[in-house]
Amino acid sequence: MKFARSIRPYSCALLLVTAGACGALLTEATPDADLLDVPLDGLSSTDLAAFARGDAEFSRPFSVREGLGPIFNDLSCAACHSGDGRGRPENVLTRIGTPADGFLASLGGPQIQSRAIPGASPEVVPVGVTLSLRLPPPVFGVGLIEAVPEAALLALADSADTNRDGISGRPNWVVPAAYVPGLSGARRIGRFGRKGQTATLLEQTVDAYHQDMGITTEQHPNDNLHPNDPASASDRANDPEIPSATVAAVVAYLRMLAPPAPGPETPDAVRGRALFTQAGCSACHVPTLTSGDAPIPALRGRTVTLYSDLLLHDMGPRLADARPDGSATGTEWKTPPLWGLRLMTRFLNGQAFLLHDGRARSIAEAIDWHGGEADRARTHWLGLSPADQRALLAFVGSR
């Protein structure tokens, strides 16, 4: 089953017409393995119907009449995630770091909303505060991420670095919101967001509606107003602006999105895989995990080729943002998954935007920014021959 998306690349096929030796350029649909917005295999017909509904809601742009704003960052979920992949610098989200006296909620709360509906004032980045820029991450495969058992992640944690390898990954323990069924008040490992500050896709979804689009839900029923301009215009839609059924549809869609398959095992990629391990990259970018129980049968017991341990690591001062999230400090970041990197530039107009804020424009540049717990791996990378560096990049770029 195919699901249309606003961003869907096509490969070209040249058909030579013998009469007159003219050329006609035709197109062929891109294989599902090269797309970021297709459903997992093994879904039931009921699941696929739910996927289609959630897909439509994920792409739906909101208007003021439908509840957009009064302050917001973009019009739809899909606007921030190119073809369900990573965002671009123009839709990087701005968050405020922690000054000495704690969060300055009066300056804009956890996130700056830089756009506003007519009659309302957008928030302005405060002067003199530490800012954290966050690039919207890919959303494919997140259902599998949610289904990885906590025990599997805890088995990878080594907060005291007992094995002396310089890697001390630890979970970001967070308490899910009271509206999350069955998890209220219970500590859980955060696995979404750049610092793993969110434990469930439900929370991630309703927070995105509220913060990114200003859309209220039963979980967040009050408009997100400008803290310094509360008398400014508000949207005229009744709250909550979308029902729980819409939220559930988007959550189901996200859970059922398939991660793209890796590329072919070229000789360089095969050699690069060994170099990746030798450099110590796989200590954090763990190649595979296995999903456990999940609300959707097709998510259960699957190999998750994530290349992440979903744990926090101190990445050193150059990548620090001074902003804690949950138990994460200002220098810690969750290991970003590597899956889908081979398709990244195809959905970003030939460009690459890596790391939490998109500052790195190539895989090599992203490696060069590594520090802290990753400093040993970076040093190993710098000592490789040019040929070995190309092989390692070929492997990472084929994920």
pLDDT digits (tens, 9 = 90+) for 367-381: 999 999 999 999 999
Predicted confidence (pLDDT) at residue 8 exceeds the cutoff of 80: no
Instruction: Please compute the mean of the pLDDT values over residues 265-292 and round it to a whole number.
Output: 97
Q: pLDDT digit string (tens) for 134-155?
A: 999 999 999 999 999 999 999 9
What does the mean pLDDT of the chain come to?
89
| pLDDT score for 355 | 97
Predicted confidence (pLDDT) at residue 244 exceeds the cutoff of 80: yes
> What's the CA gap between 61 and 6, in Å, rounded?
12
Local confidence band at 71 (pLDDT 50, 70, 90 cut-offs): very high
> What's the CA gap between 181 and 186, in Å, rounded?
11
| Residue 54: its H or E element | helix 45-59
Give yes or no for a contact between 285 and 307, defined as CB atoms under 8 angstroms apart.
yes
| pLDDT score for 103 | 47
| pLDDT score for 5 | 45
Residue 193 tokens read as 């967001």
Rounded to whole angstroms, the maximal C-alpha distance in the chain is 78
Predicted confidence (pLDDT) at residue 115 exceeds the cutoff of 50: yes
The more confidently predicted of residues 106 and 210 is 210
Q: pLDDT digit string (tens) for 77-98?
A: 999 987 888 889 888 998 887 6
| pLDDT score for 253 | 98
What architecture does CATH give domain 267-396? Orthogonal Bundle (1.10)
Instruction: Please compute the mean of the pLDDT values over residues 264-284 and round it to a whole number.
Output: 97
| pLDDT score for 12 | 37
Residue 177 tokens read as 């919101």
Q: What are phi and psi of 332, to 5 degrees?
A: -100, 145
| pLDDT score for 19 | 40
Instruction: Please compute the mean of the pLDDT values over residues 97-117 and round it to a whole number.
Output: 68
| pLDDT score for 125 | 81
pTM of the predicted structure, to 2 decimals: 0.90
| pLDDT score for 16 | 32
Instruction: Please compute the mean of the pLDDT values over residues 321-334 and round it to a whole number.
Output: 92
Local confidence band at 7 (pLDDT 50, 70, 90 cut-offs): very low
| pLDDT score for 324 | 87
The more confidently predicted of residues 393 and 346 is 393
> What's the CA gap between 289 and 292, in Å, rounded?
10
Contacts of residue 178, defined as CB under 8 A and 6 or more positions apart, other chains included, come to: 184, 185
Local confidence band at 110 (pLDDT 50, 70, 90 cut-offs): confident
| Residue 189: its H or E element | strand 188-190
**Which of 27-41, 139-153, 171-185, 342-356 has the least mean pLDDT?**
27-41
| pLDDT score for 250 | 98
| pLDDT score for 106 | 55
- Kindly tell me the burial class for residue 359, based on how many C-beta atoms sit within 10 Å of its own C-beta (0-12, 13-18, 19 or more): middle
Q: pLDDT digit string (tens) for 209-240?
A: 999 999 999 999 999 988 877 666 778 899 99
Instruction: Please compute the mean of the pLDDT values over residues 290-294 and round it to a whole number.
Output: 97
| pLDDT score for 194 | 96
Residue extent(s) of CATH 1.10.760.10 domains in the chain? 267-396
Sign, CA torsion 111/113/114/120: negative
